[in-house]
Chains A and B, each alone.
Chain A
């Protein structure tokens, strides 16, 4: 084979002078093109990031919407689907107009500048790393969509639709976009401190979890909480939505490597392991404690496992993934009870207990399980990294809490937070949206 190549090369070289002299003008053009080629996107990475973007959007539409929709009463299922869909559209429009600039334009450590308002200056040729910036804008947009979507679980069955839109809009500007800049944008103050958060343990799950807990507190519990509650109307729908979340999460985590690389492969592997281990752990606890392994339980364990591995999925190996999955199943299971029974907060679909606690736990434990001792790939010092992670969490949680209280205050003064008692009894589908999910005729 080698010889064949040599002959071809020799043949080409011998022809070269003739080509050079006869087409010297064209040759100049060719060299110019070569220069341009080095500044275009890597097609492999771009192909993967296009795919990952689709997967992450699929997590919200319809994954999260169905996951949450099945957990509420039959007369509220459409309202939940509506919340997720409307939030997705609102976040998309806000992302391209203002949020992307606040998150990723050059600015100071605390916020990006306004140079990319309305996606100014982003054209066909703009690149982020070696993928088109348009793809980066879209990929990050899907994260801005799912994060406020997660908060929906805290206030289902009782919050006003107008208040939900107002809350979401303000929350994206005050919490999501700045925190994204701190952690993920070059120049962000937590980014510069080498904070580890591959796919959003801090940016997505900690922010949404804390805000959900506070919002649930301010909106108040559902009528009948905690003694007289209605059972989830469709556990089957919950399982379908949760399964879409699992599949989509590969785009979420492995996509966050921003490349079709060796690291992306490992990220996908550990993500899957953690989900499976956490599902089995939750199922086992439930089997022991209540006598029956339930479908809603096993899929909730899966979500806990995925949220927990999210920040750590770039550093841990398979062993770390198993340990994170185990802890996710155990800790998140008991946190559901603590929030509802001890704190007496009706965080209805356990956004804080599952997403918040999972994300926070993963953000802390990556400093431990990401080390070589646990088969991880981190090159940091465990103690120092632990401090870095804790500082990041403390500030982000603090800011999310303060901003949430402020936004709640604004909503109370303008739209009001909650529907009236009768509407809550008859269901939001009819009262707020004029539609009925199930007509049995």
Chain B
């Protein structure tokens, strides 16, 4: 199993969610996060003074998938979230040791 952690532009969330559904992923956790990478922050100007906003709002999607579809899922996210401009985000893939569905006690891939 793999944990896929994708940090994307907030307005791309809907597209990414649909793309993931199409490859058969029917569960995910979404958080509103703030951060910066190469894009850095941006500046806003009020009454002539410049204010630097270091952390930009981003959306983080977390989903655990079977090894077989991990690659497809990553590709789906990349395709759906791409605008080609700086600040599109990143996708991380992390191995997962175990999983349990609390309601039924199912374990491993059965629990996903």
Contacts and interface: CB of A to CB of B under 8 A. Distances in A.
A231 interface: yes
Contacts of A413: none
Interface stretch (A159-167, A206-214, A289-297): A289-297
Contacts of A230: 51
8 contacts: A228-B52, A229-B49, A231-B46, A290-B48, A300-B47, A336-B47, A337-B49, A341-B49
Contacts of A71: 46
B30 to A, nearest CB: 16
Nearest to A235: B46
A44 interface: no
B48 A333 contact: yes
Interface in B3-45: 44-45
Contacts of A336: 47-49
A300 B52 CA distance: 21
Contacts of A341: 49
Given A231-B46, A337-B49, 11 more contacts: A230-B51, A231-B44, A231-B51, A231-B53, A232-B46, A286-B45, A286-B48, A334-B48, A336-B48, A337-B48, A340-B49
Interface in B56-100: none
Contacts of A340: 49
A232 B44 CA distance: 10
Contacts of A231: 44, 46, 51, 53
Interface of A: 71, 226-232, 286, 289-290, 292, 294, 296-297, 300, 333-334, 336-337, 340-341, 350
Contacts of A227: 52
Contacts of B44: 231
A337 B47 CA distance: 8
Q: Which of B46, B47, B52 counts the most A-chain CB atoms under 10 A from its CB?
A: B47
Contacts of B48: 286, 289-290, 333-334, 336-337
A230 B53 CA distance: 8
A286 B47 CA distance: 8
B49 A226 contact: yes
Contacts of B53: 231
A313 B22 CA distance: 68
Report the 3 A-B pairs with minimum CB-CB distance, sorted nearest first: A337-B48, A231-B51, A290-B45
Judged by DSSP, the binding face of B is strand
Interface residues of B, number: 9
A401 to B, nearest CB: 24
B46 A297 contact: yes
B74 to A, nearest CB: 32
Nearest to B44: A231
B47 A296 contact: yes
A286 B50 CA distance: 12
Nearest to B48: A337
Contacts of B45: 286, 290, 292, 294
Contacts of B46: 71, 231-232, 294, 296-297
A340 B50 CA distance: 11
B47 A297 contact: yes
Nearest to A340: B49
B52 to A, nearest CB: 7
A227 B51 CA distance: 8
A294 B45 CA distance: 8
Contacts of A294: 45-46
| Max chain A C-beta neighbours (<10 A), residue from B44, B46, B52 | B46
A229 B51 contact: yes
Contacts of B51: 229-231
B16 to A, nearest CB: 24
A48 B45 CA distance: 41
Nearest to B51: A231
A227 B52 CA distance: 8
A368 to B, nearest CB: 27
A231 B53 CA distance: 8
A265 to B, nearest CB: 33
B56 to A, nearest CB: 13
B33 to A, nearest CB: 14
A93 to B, nearest CB: 34
A300 to B, nearest CB: 6
A286 B53 CA distance: 20
Contacts of B49: 226, 229, 336-337, 340-341
Q: Which of B44, B48, B52 has the most CB of A within 10 A?
A: B48
